[in-house]
Amino acid sequence: MSDGNPGRLRVGLSANLLVPDPDRRFYPHSTLAYAEDWMTRLFARAGALVFIVPFPDGSPTAPGLDEVVDELDAVVMTGGADVAPETYGEEPLEPQWAGQRERDVYEIDLVRAALESGTPVLGICRGHQLLNVALGGTLFQDIATQTGSALDHRSQERYHHNRHDISFVDGSGLAALYPGRTGGSVNSVHHQAIATLAPSLVVEATCPLDGIVEAVRLEGSAPGADRWAVGVQWHPEFDAAAEAEGDLPADALDATPIVEEFLAAARHVRERRS
């Protein structure tokens, strides 16, 4: 790892992908790789240097994802478009659920490069689902269609104001981060969810109203462990934005303990590599 600024952790964000659209008024013919503003702020405010991990372009002179990961202390799998059903061996039940296969391939390679090098991985919303798929699990393409749940996990009108409670699994790592609590309120902006759990993951939280998996952890993950990976179905960065605007509900689950554990795992990697 280059010396740069050795005092600050380097956190890499997987990029959202916006494909060319002739009806778009800005960059209509360009593919855009981007990050949501508060996703960058969530980790920058915790003291980290934040970078977007570029899509590999196949050039022999460009660094591969394994080389990029070697320059990072931690990786965040961000939210965004659906995971393509073909990525976990299915066909889309509806055309609008086709997802972004190109992004899936890039992010699965990124997850595997991170885990092989012992770099911590935090999955958020899509990233939580992608982590499960990368490790051998499957998804519900649409919660309402495939589970019959009456709970609206996604509302385009309410968007990040759409919320429900989650319940911690007793004895889980997530429960240990919130002593004295059994759960809390989280935002809900998704219509896909974990169906078959990947063999190496354990469930850390569920929705008490319909059993949807809301958080997972790679078995044995702890800040001092050789590998650390956690996925959460909600968006901590949306709550950070709401808190800054004075619009966060009192019962909202504070993301600080999760971010702190993630960065503690990253510091362990920094120390191990130095």
Position 138: which residue type? T
CA separation for the pair 235, 231 (Å, rounded): 11
CB neighbour burial string for 210-233, b if at least 16 within 10 angstroms, e if fewer: eebbbbbbbeebebeeebbbbbbb
What are the backbone dihedrals phi and psi of residue 265, each rounded to the nearest 5 degrees, phi first?
Answer: -65, -35
* C-alpha distances in Å from residue 200, one per residue of 53, 110, 219, 221, 265: 25, 17, 6, 11, 18
What residues are annotated to the active site? 125, 235, 237
Rg (CA), the chain: 18
How many Å apart are CA 25 and CA 190, to the nearest integer?
A: 27
Q: What is d(CA 100, CA 15) in angstroms, rounded to the nearest whole number?
A: 12
